[in-house]
Copies of this chain bind each other. A is one copy, B any other.
Amino acid sequence: MGFARKEYEFLSEIGLSSRNLGCYVGGTWKANGPVVTSVNPANNQAVAEVVEGSAEDYEEGMRACSEAAKIWMQVPAPKRGEIVRQIGDALRTKLQQLGRLVSLEMGKILPEGIGEVQEIIDMCDFSVGLSRQLNGSVIPSERPNHAMLEMWNPLGIVGVITAFNFPCAVLGWNACIALVCGNCVVWKGAPTTPLITIAMTKLIAGVLEKNNLPPAIFTSFCGGADIGQAIAKDTRISLVSFTGSVKVGLMVQRIVNQRFGKCLLELSGNNAIIVMDDADIPLAVRSVLFAAVGTAGQRCTTCRRLLLHESIYQRVLDQLLDAYKQVKIGDPMEKGTLLGPLHTSESRKRFEKGIEIIKSQGGKILTGGSVIESEGNFVQPTIVEISPDTDIVKEELFAPVLYVMKFQTLQEAIEINNSVPQGLSSSIFTRKPEIIFKWIGPQGSDCGIVNVNIPTNGAEIGGAFGGEKATGGGREAGSDSWKQYMRRATCTINYGNELPLAQGINFG
């Protein structure tokens, strides 16, 4: 079926049409739930229709997935790595199209759309290497003729619930590692980015089919809260990786814990950049611009708070206001655009309401502060002067709104940085080693990401990604994040004939 607009025709190159079935269950595309329309946030017009999954689709998918899990966990890890390598290669051949789709459906600018897909490719490459390094340990036993092994085994099935702002990269972080670790993946993408969910799934499914593996190793549903809740409650799913708001995250956690499942939470951030008096100011200004305006302020790592040392407060602010003036707003797929629309008209309304609250709490709008009249969900990039003690500053307003604050000492700046419930990302700009090491040390930032002279956003996959406190404590991507996708067994093997007891105990 043809698309409404010619510029959407590239979507057929990644398996999409104007109406799409939204569930990949047991190797079949089907869907018996409500029909939803995928909308272009730049003009709020339809791109294509998607049929979401029903409860029956879900159950059918999970049954197939459970069967597939028994097989997949027995495939040697390096062989699983080879499958993930092929997924990376499949993505490489469709990098441009997928990137454009991300830009089209989510609304972020094209370089960021392509960057997001590149990140999954990087994750694939990384995971292939990992597939030969999911190492357990041989630990010295205190008992003769005993071997102590720490084994890492697959969990079985990992549920991944992702958000609209990174409609495929977060799946990439989770699925690449979950798969090499021997788990099947059940994915529910965001309800407003179903085309990306379908396109990604088709590429992955293609690889599984080519290798004659059970297709249900990767099971995917377009759908809303119903499907999400089904995943949270499903005892067949050992780990639920959830990306989204603190509120929903806590709910998911409660449900999953109740059934003794594991959670990996990537919840809200409320990320600050501190600029010290010795900072490289042009570097800081460019970083803040990228961190506050990039992805229209809809990254979990978006910089929302700018803490400026009093001595350079005005200077930084002036340069930043100047930079904001030059931000090109418009069609995210157009070359040169830095600020696209918010993802939905709802988001735009929340922005408007947020600005009102800001004002009512004494915030002073230095630039921006209004929505932009147009077909799309565009708003002005906004800078607000406000006290760190206001309530609004403790919350995550998912829009390009930056709160600016003044401080006098490093100590004070760190206290403000740490004074919000969230603990995802944070940055300082300075050239002094004593400040750098204080900042990354026991009495520095309390976040999971603690940067120096770079923005709060734009993480590399080699490190662990995630945050503390209300951000949920999960870690994805690099370092030893893979351990969350496996279960650890401490195994002591007695290969002798005696029964010596630990701690030298005698019994009987």
The answer, among B443, B449, B494, for a CB contact under 8 Å with A74, is B443
Q: Does more than half of chain A's interface fall in helix, strand or loop, or is it mixed?
A: mixed
- The reply to whether the CB of A34 lies closer than 8 angstroms to some CB of chain B is no
Q: How many residues of A contact B (CB 8 A)?
A: 121
Cβ-defined contact, A462 with B505, below 8 A: no
- The reply to whether the CB of A36 lies closer than 8 angstroms to some CB of chain B is no
A113-133 to B contact mask, C-beta < 8 Å, 1/0: 001101100100111111111
- Residues from chain B with a CB closer than 8 A to the CB of A130 are 129
Known A434-B496, A505-B458: A442·B182 in contact at CB below 8 Å: yes
A13-48 to B contact mask, C-beta < 8 Å, 1/0: 000000000000000000000000000000000000
The answer, among B111, B142, B283, B446, for a CB contact under 8 Å with A78, is B142
- Residues from chain B with a CB closer than 8 A to the CB of A464 are 150, 488, 490
Cβ-defined contact, A112 with B505, below 8 A: yes
Cβ-defined contact, A473 with B262, below 8 A: yes
Q: How many Å from the CB of A96 to the closest CB on chain B?
A: 14
- The reply to whether the CB of A304 lies closer than 8 angstroms to some CB of chain B is no
Residue of B nearest to A263 (CB): B257
- 21 A-B residue pairs with Cβ-Cβ distance under 8 Å, sorted by A, are A75-B144, A119-B503, A122-B503, A126-B132, A133-B462, A133-B478, A138-B151, A182-B442, A260-B469, A290-B499, A338-B508, A436-B493, A440-B493, A448-B489, A449-B491, A449-B492, A452-B492, A453-B493, A458-B502, A458-B505, A479-B490
A260 to B137, CA, bound (A): 30
A129 to B5, CA, bound (A): 41
The answer, among B77, B140, B451, B491, for a CB contact under 8 Å with A140, is B77
A450 to B151, CA, bound (A): 9
Q: How many Å from the CB of A422 to the closest CB on chain B?
A: 9
Known A129-B125, A290-B501, A505-B111: A150·B488 in contact at CB below 8 Å: no
The answer, among B116, B148, B433, B492, for a CB contact under 8 Å with A433, is B433
Known A132-B478, A434-B496, A443-B74: A459·B502 in contact at CB below 8 Å: yes
- The reply to whether the CB of A153 lies closer than 8 angstroms to some CB of chain B is yes
A172 to B146, CA, bound (A): 24
Known: A78-B462, A464-B488. 17 other contacts (CB 8 A): A74-B144, A85-B125, A115-B504, A138-B138, A138-B152, A148-B462, A148-B463, A151-B450, A283-B494, A286-B499, A290-B508, A338-B507, A431-B433, A449-B489, A449-B492, A450-B489, A454-B494
Cβ-defined contact, A462 with B132, below 8 A: yes
Most chain B CB atoms below 10 A, which of A81, A254, A445, A458: A458
Most chain B CB atoms below 10 A, which of A128, A444, A445, A501: A501
A290 to B508, CA, bound (A): 8
Cβ-defined contact, B142 with A76, below 8 A: yes
A295-327 to B contact mask, C-beta < 8 Å, 1/0: 000000000000000000000000000000000
- Residues from chain B with a CB closer than 8 A to the CB of A468 are 487
Q: How many Å from the CB of A461 to the closest CB on chain B?
A: 7
Known A132-B140, A497-B283: A491·B451 in contact at CB below 8 Å: yes
Q: How many Å from the CB of A359 to the closest CB on chain B?
A: 29
The answer, among B287, B443, B470, for a CB contact under 8 Å with A260, is B470
Residue of B nearest to A128 (CB): B125
Known A139-B135, A433-B495, A453-B493: A507·B151 in contact at CB below 8 Å: no
- The reply to whether the CB of A329 lies closer than 8 angstroms to some CB of chain B is no
- Residues from chain B with a CB closer than 8 A to the CB of A286 are 499, 508
